[in-house]
């Protein structure tokens, strides 16, 4: 069975105990700039530059809207449940041909070390297998960002390997660590809960 097509009439809204995952809006641009513009976010993510601007935020939103229209990407804003304050984002880059998706996420520095990333990844994993009917998900993190690896392991993801000197940020090359979860691995975890 292939990937479930997204219903473009209404963007999916997901929730957890403390969070709401919904559409990134243009009204979020200033919050995105402020949160993603923190130097620690650039240090720990693949695609966020060290000097993040309003234009970067606008371009990012334009790109995620275009990806959603094409069924190649879905990006959720991570928000507090009660005030809907933007905290970060989590995205799926969907590969229709291979029935899989790459997950990427970032959480603003004020929200670190509170378990939010673990909570949001758990919900997205369920969405991938139960709603999108994917066969596999995977995610990578910069080798020096072990906190992200911890989030993946807490959600039952399995380490696949190290991609040596795989990306370049500025003038420096970085290793990526890749984790995965297949549908059968997800089902095994779900049965144990």
The tokens of 10 are what? Answer: 């209404």
CA distance 62 to 60: 5
| Bridge pairing between strands 136-142 and 158-169 | unpaired
Which of 3, 155, 68, 98 lies closest to 89 in space, CA to CA? Answer: 68
pLDDT at 51: 87
pLDDT at 63: 96
Question: Kindly report the CA angle at 73 between 70 and 153, in degrees rounded to 5?
Answer: 160
**Is residue 8 pLDDT above 70, yes or no?**
no
The string of pLDDT tens digits covering residues 93-121 is 999 999 999 999 999 999 999 999 999 99
* Contact call for residues 35 and 86 (beta carbons, < 8 A): yes
State the average pLDDT for the chain.
93
3-class SS of residue 37: coil
pTM: 0.92
User: Which pLDDT band, with edges at 50, 70 and 90, does 1 fall under?
Assistant: very low
14-137 in CATH: which number?
A: 3.40.630.30
């Amino acid at each position: 069975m292939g990937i479930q097509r997204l219903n473009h009439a209404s963007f999916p809204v997901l929730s957890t105990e403390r969070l709401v995952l919904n559409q990134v809006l243009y009204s979020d641009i200033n919050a995105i700039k402020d949160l993603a513009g923190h130097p620690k976010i650039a240090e720990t993510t693949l695609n966020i530059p060290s000097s993040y601007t309003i234009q970067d935020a606008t371009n990012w939103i334009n790109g995620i809207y275009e990806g959603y229209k094409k069924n190649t990407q879905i990006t959720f804003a991570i928000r507090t449940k009660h005030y809907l304050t933007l905290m970060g984002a989590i995205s799926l880059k969907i590969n229709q041909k291979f029935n899989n998706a790459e997950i990427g996420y970032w959480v603003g520095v004020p929200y670190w070390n509170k378990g939010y990333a673990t909570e949001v990844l758990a919900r997205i994993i369920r969405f991938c297998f139960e709603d999108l009917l994917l066969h596999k998900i995977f995610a990578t993190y910069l080798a020096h960002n072990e906190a992200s690896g911890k989030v993946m392991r807490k959600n039952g993801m399995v380490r696949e390997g190290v991609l040596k000197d795989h990306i370049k940020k500025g003038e420096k090359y970085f290793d990526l660590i890749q984790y995965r979860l297949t549908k059968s691995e997800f089902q095994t975890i779900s049965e144990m809960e």
